[in-house]
Amino acid sequence: MKSNNHALIIGGTGMLAEVCLHLAREGYSVSVIGRTLSKFKRLQVESSPNSIFPLIADYNTDDVYDEIKKAILERGSFDLIISWTPNYSVLERICEMNPGDTPFSLFHVKGSRRYFEDEPIRIPSKCNYRRIYLGFVMEDSGSRWLTHAEIAIGVIKQIEADEEMGIIGQIHPYEARPK
């Protein structure tokens, strides 16, 4: 991992919280989009000072773009974007807002259904687009969805591997997934 870089996490106060903390430990300034300040408290308590920065906005409103602009002005362009959002148009616009010609990576976390049926996403040529699909786990009694810890560990491994596509858990057989 590079140190002293800027990461943007969309969905970082929920299942990607441990990813935020990991990146902060690795030396990143981590900007995290979320709707309520209270959810950021745990992240800020568990991280080193001045490493996690809340961007209070709903990513489905135009407020998010003002927060993105502020984050870029204060901490520079994003070297890494990790997103758990089904709103591709918002993600496309955020990627377009990232200034300069320096390449950056987008790790797009998606549900297993998107593996089989997905819509296209337009991203700038300077973006290294990576897809991470979340599957399920088979157990003796059937199947279950991944835990937040399993998702976070899997996303961190995918970031470190820097592969075009990764799957956390399993997605086959699709009909075995939890209902």
The 10s digit of each residue's pLDDT in 23-50 is 999 999 999 998 888 888 888 888 888 8
Q: Are 104 and 79 spatial neighbours (Cβ–Cβ below 8 Å)?
A: yes
Distance, in Å, from the CA atom of 156 to the CA atom of 161, rounded to the nearest integer, reads 9
Cβ(151)–Cβ(135) below 8 Å: no
**Secondary structure (3-state) at 177:** coil
pLDDT of residue 76: 94
Angle between helices 88-97 and 63-75 (to 10 degrees): 30
Q: What is the pTM (predicted TM-score) of this model?
A: 0.92
**Domain limits, the chain:** 6-176
- Long-range CB contacts (within 8 A, 24+) of 65-70: 65/93, 65/94, 65/97, 67/33, 68/8, 68/94, 68/97, 69/97
Secondary structure class of 36 (helix, strand, coil): coil
Computed over every residue of the chain, the mean pLDDT equals 92
Nearest to 107 by CA among 49, 27, 42, 22: 22
The tens digit of pLDDT for each residue in 100-130 reads: 889 999 999 999 999 999 999 999 999 999 9
Task: Tell me yes or no: is domain 6-176 CATH 3.40.50.720.
Answer: yes
Structure tokens at 35: 């709707």
Closest CA to 91 of 75, 113, 107: 107
